[in-house]
Each structure stands twice: as C-alpha cells, then as structure tokens.
C-alpha cells in the first residue's frame, strides 16, 4: 500500500486487516508501563487512533478530537498509538492536559500486525480502527495523505453504531 506525504509517495509495509475479520492481537505498554492487550477490552467497543508523531500539529488535533468525542462514550475504550517514546507521549499528555490510554509501539508490534509501518520515515501511518465487543474489525481507515486528518464523522458513526 502507498500513501502520500505532501504529494510524495510513501510505502506502507505489510498487510492491513479487513473489516469483518478478527482484529489482530497486540500487546503494548501504556504510560504507566502496564502491558495492555487488545483482549483486555473484550466486551467493549475499541476505537484505535494511530498517529505518526504525537509532537506534530495534525497528530495533536487528531488525538484531542478523538479524546473529546470518543472519550465521552459509554462502553467505548479509546486508545491512541504511536511509536513515540513513553517520555515523548507523557510529555505531550502533560503539556496538553490530556489523560487517556496512550500506548507506545516502539517495537512496531502493532504497526506490523495492522500493516501501518512506513519504513522510509520510521513512523506509523495515520489510521483509525474500530473493533466491536467480540474483537471483530468493523471500521478501518488509513489516511491516504499523511498531512490530512482522518474522517472523524465516519469513525465515530461506526463506533456509536455498536453501542
């Protein structure tokens, strides 16, 4: 798969999961160094927001938007994932007054399982995944232009349809 970064073609490595399939398993650490498994949220709707670099403006906008919207929904677990370090993520959260489940994928486990790694940039592709209460992927978007925001309306509609 390919996306663009301000018009330049960037290769995204791997195979992306398809809607209707069981969501690929992952285990990542959160900001408290607790291991978080996708299976921990069985029975809940999970909205996974993936950002290339939490310290950039579009990633900050995406993270804040989903935190404000999805963070208010009952029985929905919002997770933001990037391959920033724990320290970078913690500093961003503290500096922006945001408390949320933020996972760091420095070993690229999630990136490889979901096919969102861009080796040329060493970053994860901007993407959104919605997983139902049974662990099935019901929505996925890999944003075709890295500098653009995801389709919040579609992702939130898919999320709300499950609750």
So where are the chain's domains?
2-161
pLDDT (average), residues 25-34: 97
pLDDT cut 70: percent of the chain above it: 100
Question: Cα dist. 96→64, 81, 113, 129 in Å?
Answer: 9, 17, 30, 24
Helix (H, G, I), strand (E, B) or coil at 49: strand
Q: What SS3 state is found at 56?
A: coil
Among residues of the chain, what percentage have pLDDT more than 90? 96
- Given a contact cutoff of 8 angstroms between Cβ atoms, the answer to whether 141 and 150 are in contact is yes
What pTM does this model have?
0.97
> 95 CB contacts (<8 Å, ≥6 apart)?
none
Give the pLDDT band of residue 111 (cuts 50, 70, 90).
Answer: very high
Place of tokens 């760091």: 104
Per CATH, the number for 2-161 is 3.40.30.10
Residues annotated as catalytic (active site), given as ranges: 59
Query: For residue range 42-61, what is the model confidence (pLDDT) as tens digits?
Result: 999 999 999 999 999 999 99
pLDDT of 71 strictly over 90: no
Q: Give pLDDT tens digits for 74-105.
A: 999 999 999 999 999 999 999 998 889 999 99
The phi, psi pair for 51, rounded to 5°, reads: -125, 145
Helix extents (H) in the chain: 57-70, 86-96, 109-114, 152-160
Return the residue matching tokens 């920033």.
84
d(CA 136, CA 159): 12
């Amino acid at each position: 798969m390919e996306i663009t970064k301000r018009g330049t073609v960037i290769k995204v490595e791997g195979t992306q999961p398809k809607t209707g399939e069981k969501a690929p398993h992952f285990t990542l650490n959160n900001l408290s160094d607790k291991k978080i498994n996708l299976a921990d949220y069985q029975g809940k709707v999970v909205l996974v927001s993936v950002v290339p670099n939490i310290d950039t403006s579009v990633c900050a906008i995406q993270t804040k938007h989903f935190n404000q919207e999805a963070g208010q929904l009952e029985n929905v677990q919002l997770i933001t994932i990037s391959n920033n370090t724990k320290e970078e993520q913690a500093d961003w959260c503290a500096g922006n007054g945001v408390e949320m489940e933020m996972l760091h994928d420095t070993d690229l486990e999630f990136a490889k399982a979901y096919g969102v790694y861009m080796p040329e940039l060493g970053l994860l592709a901007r993407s959104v995944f919605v997983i139902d209460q049974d662990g099935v992927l019901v929505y996925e978007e890999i944003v075709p232009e890295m500098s653009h925001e995801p389709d919040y309306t579609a992702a939130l509609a898919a999320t709300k349809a499950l609750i």
